[in-house]
Amino acid sequence: MSEVAAGVHFVEGPASNWVVLIGVDDVALIDSGYPKDLPLVVESIQRAGGRVDDLTTIAVTHGHSDHIGSAAALVDRTGARVLGSTDELPNIRRTELHQIGVGDILPVLWKPLIARWTVHAVRAGGLGDVGVASAAGLPASEAGPDALRLAGHRVLPVLVPGHTPGHTAYLLPDARALVTGDAVISGHPTTRELGPQLLAPMWHSDPALAERSLAALAELSADTVLPGHGPLLRITPPVLVESALRRDGD
């Protein structure tokens, strides 16, 4: 776990990452790991200096089970609100499902890293029902960073569709940090590659849209990138996007 700026803590979980935001008297999360990551999420809030019972908001990048997995249990415990983009709400509520399934994995299950990831995903509760029926919509990007405060931190949601229909990145302008979710990552259990990269096409709802959407990130001003998978990057968004697309074209 690393404190990126005052009250902004980046946590590398066993297979996916989340961010803990600490305020004066409340706590917020961006993403929440797999269902079985719940004890780790709770511990990370405490290590960051917060109290789980002060959790007021869980903003999610997208509705995949390795990002919203602990949200329902945390909502039950704390009454926190769960926020996602309007376009992602059906996936978060599980009235629709935009996630890779067993049928997509079978053809590549012979690959050792994929097999290992699949075992972890199943054990971590990845096949369980992780929907959050109460999830509500975020303010649109046009509303600016003053429209949303999470535990006192200004947050700008930036729509980056393609990985899922309403995938959202979050800019923390005061921390000069960008939470990218799965729009751009820096590593993943299914590959040995490290550094700015896109997930392989099989993981995206719409791979071509996932690439086009990155233009929205390239305009943002930040020095630190907090991806949904892989380590923190000290890099600006324009360089991040250029590097990820260049690697994707190799």
- Measure the CA dihedral 185/191/201/182, to 10°: -20
Between CA 38 and CA 35 the distance in angstroms is 6
State the residue number with the nearest CB to Zn ion: 64
User: Which H/E stretch holds residue 5?
Assistant: strand 2-5
43-69 b/e (C-beta count within 10 Å ≥ 16 → b)? ebbeebebebebbbbbbbbbbbbbbbb
Residue 87: CB minimum distance to Zn ion, A: 15
Residues that bind Zn ion (CB under 5 A): 64, 182
User: Which H/E stretch holds residue 2?
Assistant: strand 2-5
Radius of gyration of the chain (CA): 16
